[in-house]
A and B are shown apart, each in its own frame.
Chain A
């Protein structure tokens, strides 16, 4: 049976890891390498690394950091941030990425999703959506939450799936960094409309939030940053919690010792 996944998200901005709240007021978390080493020993299922400054600064993603980072990463690694052409994808896969996350550039150039899926397979493409609620409606935002794309995230996720995305990473800007729990309604809407796995992101504050995102909202994976960075909570404890609740998770042989 396929396991539900717990994925720490590492946000990278100008040489270090950061975490904000509602896509703002970024706090420095620390350097990259010690973090990935800790996560490796904690036996996470997967890692997502996003260079959040790349699109905004119109700079290329920091390949050297990723090259270093991937040397210590023995679980699937998703890389994103400012990716807008296939050459960047080639380069990232060659230096150690397993999947590529595409967000802002998909609005201007949806064909990029198609191109990457055709060349490397859908399993390689994680389409990322940042959504915010205005009134009782959600809207997609690009460029780290700064540009309103005036598209409904449910419609957009269906389009991304059609183009060949193998997974959807949905982040609620409203919930991001608040530790109040995921936007369960938003996640439910998307999981009910697409067939590809959906990764819930934004708002996890306790293990039970992860349980709800999986059990109630139908997410295949849960991403979290703040609770792993700023609290004593760990991916391994999250798994033990989910296991007790009857969710099928990866029990690695270190855990059972």
Chain B
């Protein structure tokens, strides 16, 4: 059961790779969209800007392959940080200061990606560091991890799904932040499991065992 890590731009994917290896999985770094056909599961990492990343996914043919693999073939996908935000329908993180421009995401989970300050967050931005994550529902992704464990976050935008039932876990940073989302075979974590020590590695292990 191979897991493909999508390498579509800049960012630290070495940690995602090593974390999967450490839990006994055999990850592949995928640099060509058609290679998605050869793996059973997909991880969409992400560091950076929503609009820029979505453009890269669209232009290089990633979007089409991801949609085919997840919608037609129902392969499990885990989006991490910006990778989770890209699951949304719309993102409000533009390339320029024009914050009202919206960019379409992958649309795998309906909802918007909005700046933390617009959601009413009055704490320091980015939300960076270890924060407590509270489960809303039981989930196979969180199996074996106690509720209220800490995970490592770094982000200035947050994903707000339309359906509350698709929010698996939340964190608090003067506002409620959606930390884990899920719809059918699609999963996302706002925090970085690959940098969240044992609790995070357990998430990688759970995903690898799906």
Contacts and interface: CB of A to CB of B under 8 A. Distances in A.
Interface of A: 1-3, 5, 40, 43, 45, 67, 70-76, 90, 93-98, 120-123, 166, 195-197, 220, 250-254, 256
Given A45-B130, A250-B150, A251-B150, A75 B18 contact: no
A252 B199 contact: yes
A256 B198 CA distance: 13
A3 B149 CA distance: 12
Contacts of B150: 3, 250-252
Nearest to A122: B126
B196 to A, nearest CB: 7
Contact of B12 (A72, A98, A195, A197): A98
Contacts of B80: none
Interface in B161-198: 172-173, 194-198
Contact of A74 (B11, B22, B126, B146): B22
Given A93-B12, A94-B12, A121-B126, A74 B132 contact: no
A71 B18 contact: yes
10 contacts: A2-B129, A3-B131, A5-B129, A43-B198, A72-B18, A73-B15, A98-B15, A121-B154, A166-B128, A251-B150
B199 A75 contact: no
B59 interface: no
Interface range on chain B (Cβ under 8 Å from partner)? 35 or more
- B contact patch SS: mixed
B197 A43 contact: yes
A1 B172 contact: yes
Contact of A2 (B146, B149, B173, B199): B173
A137 B118 CA distance: 42
Interface in B93-131: 123-124, 126-131
A108 to B, nearest CB: 26
A194 to B, nearest CB: 11
B47 interface: yes
A95 B19 contact: no
B201 interface: yes
Contacts of A43: 197-198
Given A5-B130, A256-B146, A75 B152 contact: yes
A1 B197 contact: no
A70 B14 contact: yes
A120 B130 CA distance: 20
Given A43-B198, A75-B197, A253-B198, A1 B15 contact: no
A96 B14 contact: yes
B128 A253 contact: no
